[in-house]
Amino acid sequence: MQTAPDIFSHRKYWASRFGVAPFLPMCRAEMDALGWDSCDIIVVTGDAYVDHPSFGMAIIGRLLEAQGFRVGIISQPDWQSADPFRVLGKPNLFFGITAGNMDSMVNRYTSDRRIRSDDAYTPGGEGGKRPDRSVIVYAQRVREAYADVPIVIGGIEASLRRIAHFDYWSEKVRRSVLLDAKADLLVYGNAERQIVDIARRLAAGETITDITDLRGTVFTRKSIPDDYLEIDSTHLDTPGPLNPPIDPYAMDDNGGTKAATQTAVVADSTSVDDKLAGEKVVRFVRRVKNADRERSVIRLPAFEQVVDDAVLYAHASRILHLEANPGNARALVQRHGNVEVWLNPPPIPLTTSEMDRVYELPYQRQPHPFYGDAEIPAYKMIRFSIAIQRGCFGGCTFCSITEHEGRIIQSRSEASVLREIEKIRDTVPGFTGVISDLGGPTANMYRLACKSREIESACRRPSCVYPGVCPNLNTDHTPLIQLYRKARSLPGIKKVLIASGVRYDLAIESPEYVKELAQHHVGGYLKIAPEAIGEGPLSKMMKPGIGTYDRFKELFDRYSREAGKEQYLIPYFIAAHPGTTDEDMLALALWLKRNGFRADQVQAFLPSPMATATAMYHSGKNPLRRISRSSEEVVIPKGLKVRRLHKAFLRYHDANNWPTLREALRRMGRADLIGPGKQHLVPAWQPAGTGGMQEGQRKPFRTQHVRSKRSPRP
């Protein structure tokens, strides 16, 4: 893996003489109190400003402050005019724009495209305080306010739209958000490295158009530089008649996937320099020298092509995900009209030392005083939680964590985490002695990594744990167990809970971890996510089989009993995921009933931009394997009717769903599951006032409900 300069090693900007702000200013009066005549950088965010390291604007703002820059915050501005974007004046260097911790479309709409009534990142949970596609709208208003100030967009909304992407809410492929926002630069991922370098270089006198060499950035250019070797992506993975599919996870001798290398066509004996002088679009040369890889770029199908051809869209998605490892990724380029959208390789992950300093910056760990006593639901949920790691190597196709944070786990030191616990104990109002979470994207990937840095740098596998745990992966949970033990032994700490999702296929590799978790860190219920039980959907999700869940449950139940605790697992499932048939959902409903589970809320698949499962949804193809016109077709549950049916299977116990389920069961030839017995899924009668009951239907029986030991209370 390549290295990068420590982000805290740079000489501080002259404005560091102003010191540390209690809160980053949100108005001119606060700037005046700090002695500032202007801001160097202004961050515009769709979230309420909470000065806590779980909020992106706080991390970026405090990090830039630590570099010596004066940073202001414009939080949830009224986007109807440009005036609210002038509240702090004109920044000296640039505007940084983010939609917030959540994608604005996911934040505002359900998976069925219904408008949500609330927003957890807004005071009082009030909805409607940010526009749809916030990054685009905010950037346009900033451009109206100050036409000549550079605009840098980032955060998860921009990160997942850095390339031509399928947009679920409009059911079409949209351009890179960089173009629609008319921004100068896009930073993807957590972006600490990029944002520090951008600020430093602009402060040193460079123009924003000069900055084209930063990893983790996206920008536009008119043409490809003459000294670059251009590789046609269709020579890596041709979307036409191909050889029979091979195992996409089998590793070749160099640590790459055979799927990526077996199809590679080695160029003729002409040298790379000769290629540069002649035809620039060449077939993939497998053994490119490192120096040549630095000046090679993969050309993806143009925006206009992927709009018209869903197979090419799936192909582009596959290439993008194969080029996601910071150790071996190459630059990507995609033509949009008359400009090239250029994606530099992913940023180098932060070191443990850098992670420690980022999370120990002088956060107040509270909302800005501007909000008074208003409750911000997202803050209430995380105010006593601590992030101990970043990234995820699970590779779940429906999830955006890997596309945003990367698959290399970035962990904090044990000492840093313990210091943060003590800070919460000593300074955060309302602390009662309970830490609500030690986690991150997953609960139990702390300090887990490939056993070989060389193999890690060369690997192109999308997951380290699917179809099985990679033998090269270190699965030792000992550092995490030790952290848990030291955390709960600190004076004043009554309990440390784990609320982040546990990756149970990793957990069973360490029974001692499951024991520690069950006996000390669960508050009665533990949420885990099998997502499905059928091989069809599981193979498209890249999730383990239900047998792995059963093994984890056996360990969890055993250790809970040994501790004299009555504890339950709450499994999460997804409805209507690509690869899911009606029969798969029926089998899941029967499994839920057999095991005594009654889901209170259910999750339907939401095709987020850039996710692999979204490419499946749009194309009907499987980008986990080589794409061709005749390659594997994926069953796609599309349309409101089928999506509602799949959700109804998950809530088989809800009488409002019984008419839908009865109709489906008869159509599927499973009318034998309709009746009054325990072996039946739904009864033949309908309670009054439910499911659109017609006059003459039976009223419900009066029954006594006895909670099964395996069935958690709602």
Beta strands in 479-606 (DSSP E): 495-496, 525-531, 568-575, 603-604
**Over residues 572-600, mean pLDDT:** 95
Q: Vertex 514, ends 511 and 517: CA angle to 5°?
A: 150
Domains contained in the chain, CATH given = 14-221 (3.40.50.2300), 229-337 (no CATH)
- The tokens describing 630, both together, are 């005749």
Measured in Å, how far apart are the chain's first and last C-alpha atoms?
47
DSSP strand pairing (525-531 vs 389-390): unpaired
Quote the pLDDT of residue 435. Answer: 98
Band (pLDDT 50/70/90 cuts) for residue 161 is very high
Count of C-beta atoms within a 10 Å radius of residue 437: 20
Average pLDDT in the 143-167 region? 98
Write out the two tokens for 272. 């790379």
Instruction: Give the closest residue to 190 by CA, choosing from 354, 423, 366, 75.
Output: 354
How sure is the predictor about 637, in pLDDT bands with cuts at 50, 70 and 90?
Answer: very high
Alpha carbon distances (Å) from 619 to 174, 471, 636 = 15, 33, 9
Burial of 551 (0-12, 13-18, 19+ CB in 10 A): middle
Estimate to the nearest angstrom the gap between the alpha carbon of 320 and the chain centroid: 16
* Cβ atoms of 403 and 160 closer than 8 Å: yes
Instruction: Decide if pLDDT at 292 tops 90.
Output: no
Residue 174: pLDDT band with limits 50, 70, 90: very high
Positive/negative CA dihedral, 356, 361, 364, 369: negative
Closest CA to 393 of 384, 385, 402: 402
* 424 pLDDT above the threshold of 90: yes
State residue 281's pLDDT score.
Answer: 42
Instruction: Tell me the mean pLDDT in the region 164-181.
Output: 98
Q: How sure is the predictor about 291, in pLDDT bands with cuts at 50, 70 and 90?
A: low
Per-residue pLDDT, 1: 65
Banded model confidence at residue 438, pLDDT cuts 50, 70, 90: very high
What is the distance between the alpha carbons of residues 383 and 385, in angstroms, rounded to a whole number?
A: 6
Q: In this model, does residue 195 exceed pLDDT 80?
A: yes
Are 409 and 447 in contact by the 8 Å Cβ rule? The answer is yes
Question: Strand, coil or helix: what is 705?
Answer: coil
Q: What is the Rg, in whole angstroms, of the alpha carbon atoms belonging to the chain?
A: 26
Per-residue tokens: 436: 């609500």
Q: Write out pLDDT tens, residues 350-406.
A: 999 999 999 999 999 999 999 999 999 999 999 999 999 999 999 999 998 988 999
Report strand pairing: 495-496 vs 434-435.
Answer: parallel
* In the predicted structure, residue 471 carries a pLDDT above the cut 70: yes
> Among the listed ranges 49-58, 515-524, 593-602, 639-648, which one has the minimum average pLDDT value?
593-602
Q: Using one digit for the tens of pLDDT, what is the confidence trace for 654-711?
A: 999 999 999 999 999 999 999 999 999 999 999 998 876 443 344 333 333 333 333 3
How many other β-carbons are positioned within 10 Å of the β-carbon of residue 128? 12
Task: Look at residue 75 and give its three-state secondary structure.
Answer: strand
CB atoms closer than 10 angstroms to residue 624: 26
For the chain, percent of residues with pLDDT exceeding 90: 84
Question: Could you give the C-alpha distances from 223 to 175, 284, 334, 336, 344, in angstroms and in order?
Answer: 18, 21, 11, 12, 15
Q: Is the separation of the CB atoms in 183 and 632 below 8 Å?
A: no
Mean pLDDT of the chain: 90
SS (H, E, C) 147-195: CCCCEEEEHHHHHCCCCCEEECCCCEEECCHHHHHCCCEEECCCCHHHH
The CA–CA distances, whole Å, from 624 to 247, 260, 317, 332 equal 10, 11, 10, 19
Peptide bond into 467 cis (omega under 30): yes
pLDDT mean over 4-19? 97
**Which pLDDT tens digit goes with each residue over 260-270?**
433 333 333 33
Q: In 443-546, at which residue ranges do the beta strands (DSSP E only) sit? A: 495-496, 525-531
| DSSP line for 15-74 | GGGG---SS--SSHHHHHHHT-SS-SEEEEESS--EESTTSHHHHHHHHHHHTT--EEEE
Could you tell me the CA-to-CA distances from 464 to 250, 258, 361, 575, 645 in Å, in that order? 12, 15, 32, 25, 33
- The CA distances from residue 61 to 150, 666, 683, in Å, are 17, 58, 57
